[in-house]
Amino acid sequence: MERFKVGIIGAGHIARKMAHTLRDMEGVEPYAVASRNLENAEGFAREWGVTRAYGSYEELADDPEVQLIYIATPHSHHFEQAQMCLGKGKPVLCEKAFTANAEQAEALIRLSKEKQVFLTEAIWTRYMPFSRTLRELVDGGTIGRVMMLTANIGYPIAEKERIAKPELCGGALLDIGVYPINFARMLFGSEITGITSACVKGETGVDLQGSITFVYRNHRMAVLQMTAFCANDRQGVISGDKGYIIVDNINNPQQAIVYSINHEEVARYTCPPQITGFEYQVQASIDAIREGKIETPYMPHMETLHIMQMLDDLRSEWGVRFPMDK
């Protein structure tokens, strides 16, 4: 069977992780990489066994062999690059945060529909089989009536350029805050009746630490924390009237332990073996493209748009603005 050819826009850390993934997947070829600097692209291609290297993103998108393009550049560049790829009829798997704002997200989704070209957001946790396991535990009554969720994520990354610079759509919210938000929406849904939040901003005006609380129609609550100042436990805790579940890492769950109301371990669930965890979003994209679909059920266009609008509302409340905001 002919291998499905994937191109990568960008040659940074996240692109390397994708190249590793593609190299080890069956039926997939890490076919092309593009960087603004041809020398960088060629070095990346040699390191990861990528077939072709390009010194411009347009050249990669013009290659008739490319069947899917993964966008791995800073948030600020996603809209322009995804728009270019869709305009050339190329399916797109775009890294989170999907765009700088909801207006850009809506424009890309509209273009995807007009062109009937596949488009999805690469929020990898949405595609993982273990995420389905967690939903089954929550919905199946394992811990009784579930009412509370907490989720934390933090890394000491405040000094990194992509975090500190507003022109790169920096800040903790778009870079890592999307993980607890998606964790809550995957497990508790989207019927949110109220949101309260607070943030701490850095010298450049971007948010570097924050907390968000969702209140749901059924009286559930989700309390979320994110920080670019320091490391934290990255855990998710889902609580019910018959026990609770501790998820070891909301950014890439490997284990979920179920406890009784007496804090005794009842069961332990382990994530199946992974290449990197990226393989699931790639395979979901390939499956959808082969079926002639323009989105996946794992991360529908409207879910991406609703989350982008939520991020806009939070940034507006916090007074965080990017150069591309109106």
- pLDDT mean over 163-183: 97
- pLDDT mean over 46-72: 97
Find out whether 198 and 211 touch, Cβ atoms under 8 Å.
Answer: yes
Which one is catalytic: 17, 90, 96, 165? 96
Confirm whether 96 is a catalytic residue. Answer: yes
**Predicted local confidence at residue 65, as pLDDT:** 97
d(CA 297, CA 314): 26
pLDDT at 115 over 70: yes
pLDDT at 88 over 90: yes
pLDDT at 144 over 80: yes
pLDDT at 1 over 70: no
Tell me the pTM. 0.96
**Predicted local confidence at residue 228, as pLDDT:** 98
pLDDT at 256 over 70: yes
Residues in Cβ contact with 95 at an 8 Å cutoff, skipping those fewer than 6 apart: 14, 70, 71, 72, 73, 75, 78, 121, 122
Average of per-residue pLDDT values in the chain: 97
- pLDDT mean over 275-294: 98
Of 147, 129, 178, 135, the C-alpha closest to 281 is: 129
**Predicted local confidence at residue 128, as pLDDT:** 97
**Predicted local confidence at residue 326, as pLDDT:** 76
**pLDDT band per the 50, 70, 90 thresholds, residue 45:** very high
Instruction: Give per-residue pLDDT as tens, 301-318.
Output: 999 999 999 999 999 999
**Predicted local confidence at residue 288, as pLDDT:** 98
- pLDDT mean over 214-227: 96
